[in-house]
Structure 1
Amino acid sequence: MIINYRGIDVSTSFYNDACNQVLEFKIFLAKKYTVPLSLISWEHICKYINELIDNQDLIIQEINATPKFSGSTKFVNDKFLMIINKSPNIIEPRLRFTLTHELMHIILHHSELDLGFKIKLQSEFTDISDNERELQADFAANDLLMSSCLIKDRMGDYYTFKELQNSFLVSESAMQTRLHNYLVFEMGIDFKYAKYLTNQYRYYNDKTICSYVAKRTDFINYFVNFCGIVYPPSIKDISDEVSFLIPNHDRLNWLGLNLIRNDIKAVLSHQKNLEESDLPNELAM
Structure 2
Amino acid sequence: MSPREKAARYALLALILVICVGPFLWQLSTSLKGPDEDIYTATPHFIPSDPTLANYARVGQTIPIGSYVANSLIVAVLVVAGNAVGATMAGFALAKLRFRGAKLLAAAFIATLVLPGEVTIVSKFVTVRGLGLSDTLVGVALPEAIGMLNVLLMRAAFQAIPSEMDDAAVMDGANAWQRLIHIGLPNVKGMLSVVTIFAFIGAWDDFLWPLIVLNDPDKYTLTVGLQYLNGAFSANPRLIAAGTMIAFIPIVIVFAVLQRFFFRGVSEGAIKG
TM range (shorter): under 0.3
Q: Which structure has more strand as a fraction of its residues? A: 1
* TM-score, normalised via structure 1 length: 0.22
TM-score of the superposed pair, with normalisation by structure 2: 0.22
